[in-house]
Amino acid sequence: MSSLALGRLEEQEGDAKAAENAYRAAAQASDSELPNLRLAQFLERLGRVVEAEQVLRHLDSLPAASPTALGDFQLSAGSPDSALQLYQQKLFHSRLAAAYRQNSYRPSNDAAIVSRLVEAELQIAAGNSGEPVKAVDANRFATARTLLEQHRSTLDQATIAVLEAEIVLAAGDISTAERQAKVALTRAPDSAAAHYVRGMVFEREGKIAEAKEQWNAALELDADNVPSRLALANQTLSEHDAATANEQVAAVIRSEPGNTAALNLYARALLAEGNLPAARSILARSLALNAHAAAPHIILGDLAMAQRQYGSALIAYQQALIVQPDSAQALYGLLTVYRTGTITRPVLRQMEKVADAPPSSAPLMEIAGRLYDEHGWHVDAVRVLKRAVELDGQRPTAVLALSDAYAAQGDKASASETFLASPATSNGARTAAAMLSAEQAQEKGDETGAIRSYELAIQRGEPSGAAANNLAWIYAQRGRNLDRALKLAMSAVERNPKDAAMLDTLGVVYLKLHDYSAASEALKKAVALSESKRSSVQAEPLLYQHLADAYSGAGLTQEAAAALAKAR
């Protein structure tokens, strides 16, 4: 048995010391790419980051190996600044070798390094968090474009189109991203990267079924295409299929044990399955790789909330806000913790004092303002939220909360002016903040607040159709503004013709308008789509109930009875 195989076997048996000895023996016997890579991956799984980086640095120096192993590890571990610096050094040395016609120069390496340079710039611009991008980070998009132009001659035309699509998509220009993604697929229909970026554009447009088709196509072309596998896992988890998400993300972790995005996603899937000890173990690995990331702390907070350990949850969400003060997820996590206790005016005044004491905390001030507003103390809310915006004008959530507080006390002019005139945040950030606020309000049963925030999201051009769909549903349930609800539901379905939930909303709006024929058509499509996705004869019971109501209204009693039987 080879030392590599022995190392893997010992690791599976839980004997870490014996496994390490075997991996090191393999690397010593054959100082080549594979043994060194396996040793580094083993060290990554143990959270021994410094030692793993030493092995990868050695791997980069081997003449026959790829020169970006260490940079790739740093990028996947959530350290794009370090990766960027390393890629720049590698590109410099590669060009130097070319200038002196050294044997170590390989043109293909330059193309790989340039692509990674652009990826690192985009990851820095996005804050490596999935949160809305601050205006000050927009310069990174310009830098990424400049890099692409400077090294355009190094890359093939398909790669250029893929990178251009990624840059404009990250900057929020969906129409240009769609155009570039189509160009990439035309130039290289067998490129996994081109299919991946086309899927990302579809996702931003709210066309989830089409996005998944593209990501699956990418994996058929390249089973090791990590971005596509993570995108599918994330989408599957959002559809409440934690088991399938686990399978997808586990494949990534096997090949990239230092990928913190994969580890965090895996922890979320384990949490959804109720496997809390395993989730906590995975988060420990993620934090060992990158202690300066907010995401693991947020998931730890969610895990503590699931166990009703509110003190631990409070600490975790606070830690996330310390690491990333503009994290909306951490903010809403803290709000959830505070809501578990008894909220009084003296408690909020004390929180306000703590938030204003040096060093002042805009997130804590925003939480106090939101809690004032939730309890009907709108004057206090406006005062405190104005202070939060003064402390940090780059917080889209605080701007939106202040707008909501003005609206709650009847000052619609100030509400509109605050939200629309604020120069602090990008349009995409404001839209994301509006959607988060709307969803939070809907979860609390605050339909008025949800309507206000969904309308704001639509005003800002929310691209997926989710805001239009959710708002149409609320109006339909209220039985009001049905003409407006119909327009909203139709626009959502136009963007997402294969989304059963949106077709269901359209059908329910038609039901409220007593247009039973149109309702039947929409709901039949919704049921068919739901059944095909579930690969069974049963869709959601509520869909059958709505279809039965539509058939009944149209006088189709037999069809109504059949649908009702399935609903039951």
Confidence of residue 130 (pLDDT cuts 50, 70, 90): very low
Query: What per-residue confidence (pLDDT) applies to 139?
Result: 66
> How far apart (Å, rounded) are the C-alpha atoms in residues 135 and 416?
21
Q: What is the pLDDT of residues 142-156, one digit of tens each?
A: 788 888 888 888 888
Structure tokens at 147: 């890099």
Structure tokens at 511: 């039901």
Q: Are 167 and 144 in contact (CB under 8 A)?
A: yes
> How far apart (Å, rounded) are the C-alpha atoms in residues 180 and 516?
42
- Whether residue 9 is predicted with pLDDT greater than 70 in this model: the reply is yes
For residue 490, count other CB atoms closer than 10 A to its CB. 15
Structure tokens at 532: 């095909």
Q: Which residue has the higher pLDDT, 295 or 400?
A: 295
**Omega cis (within 30) before 359:** yes
Query: What per-residue confidence (pLDDT) applies to 428?
Result: 59
Task: Label residue 492 exposed, middle or buried (CB < 10 Å: 0-12, 13-18, 19+).
Answer: buried
Structure tokens at 53: 């980086």
Query: What per-residue confidence (pLDDT) applies to 383?
Result: 94
pTM of the model: 0.68
Q: Which amino acid is at 51?
A: E
Query: What per-residue confidence (pLDDT) applies to 64?
Result: 62
Distances (CA, A) of 183 to 164, 165, 198: 10, 9, 10
Cα dihedral 274, 280, 283, 285 sign: negative
Q: Which residue has the higher pLDDT, 18 or 536?
A: 18
- Whether residue 129 is predicted with pLDDT greater than 50 in this model: the reply is no
As beta bridge partners, residue 238 has: none
- Whether residue 233 is predicted with pLDDT greater than 90 in this model: the reply is yes
Structure tokens at 143: 């830098």
Q: What is the pLDDT of residues 488-546, one digit of tens each?
A: 998 888 877 778 888 999 999 999 998 888 888 888 888 888 777 544 444 578 888 88
Average pLDDT on 282-302 reads: 92
Confidence of residue 138 (pLDDT cuts 50, 70, 90): low
For residue 270, count other CB atoms closer than 10 A to its CB. 24
By C-alpha distance, which of 187, 236, 191 is closest to 211? 236
Query: What per-residue confidence (pLDDT) applies to 103?
Result: 52
Q: Domain locations in the chain?
A: 512-567
pLDDT-wise least confident of 132-146, 197-211, 275-289, 401-415: 132-146
Query: What per-residue confidence (pLDDT) applies to 472?
Result: 93
As beta bridge partners, residue 134 has: 425
Question: What values do phi and psi take at 227, rounded to 5?
Answer: -60, -40
Q: What is the pLDDT of residues 67-112, one digit of tens each?
A: 788 888 888 888 888 888 888 777 776 655 555 555 544 555 677 8
Distances (CA, A) of 300 to 205, 305, 340: 31, 9, 17
Task: Label residue 342 exposed, middle or buried (CB < 10 Å: 0-12, 13-18, 19+).
Answer: exposed
Q: Are 339 and 367 in contact (CB under 8 A)?
A: no
Query: What per-residue confidence (pLDDT) applies to 231?
Result: 93
Instruction: Work out the mean pLDDT of the chain and round it to a whole number.
Output: 83
> How far apart (Å, rounded) are the C-alpha atoms in residues 486 and 475?
9
Q: Which residue has the higher pLDDT, 65 or 111?
A: 111
pLDDT-wise least confident of 52-56, 98-102, 349-353, 481-485: 98-102
pLDDT-wise least confident of 44-48, 415-419, 442-446: 415-419
In 372-476, where do the E strands start and end? Answer: none
> How far apart (Å, rounded) are the C-alpha atoms in residues 237 and 227?
15
End-to-end CA distance of the chain: 59
Confidence of residue 58 (pLDDT cuts 50, 70, 90): confident
Distances (CA, A) of 243 to 8, 230, 236, 254, 262: 25, 14, 9, 17, 15
- Whether residue 442 is predicted with pLDDT greater than 70 in this model: the reply is yes
> How far apart (Å, rounded) are the C-alpha atoms in residues 130 and 487?
31
> How far apart (Å, rounded) are the C-alpha atoms in residues 547 and 552?
8
Q: Are 506 and 493 in contact (CB under 8 A)?
A: yes
Question: Can you tell me whether residue 77 is helix, strand or coil?
Answer: coil
Q: What is the pLDDT of residues 330-358, one digit of tens each?
A: 888 888 888 887 788 888 888 888 888 88
Query: What per-residue confidence (pLDDT) applies to 80?
Result: 85
By C-alpha distance, which of 514, 515, 522 is closest to 547? 522
Contacts of 235 (CB under 8 A, 6+ apart): 203, 208, 211, 212
Question: Can you tell me whether residue 395 is helix, strand or coil?
Answer: coil
Task: Label residue 182 exposed, middle or buried (CB < 10 Å: 0-12, 13-18, 19+).
Answer: middle
Average pLDDT on 474-481 reads: 88
- Whether residue 214 is predicted with pLDDT greater than 90 in this model: the reply is yes
Query: What per-residue confidence (pLDDT) applies to 510?
Result: 92
pLDDT-wise least confident of 409-423, 460-474, 476-490: 409-423
Confidence of residue 423 (pLDDT cuts 50, 70, 90): low
- Whether residue 392 is predicted with pLDDT greater than 80 in this model: the reply is yes
Query: What per-residue confidence (pLDDT) applies to 134?
Result: 44
Residue linked to tokens 């809690």 = 371
- Whether residue 457 is predicted with pLDDT greater than 90 in this model: the reply is no
> How far apart (Å, rounded) are the C-alpha atoms in residues 438 and 332?
12
Average pLDDT on 440-461 reads: 81
- Whether residue 182 is predicted with pLDDT greater than 90 in this model: the reply is yes
Q: Which amino acid is at 503?
A: L
Average pLDDT on 6-23 reads: 82
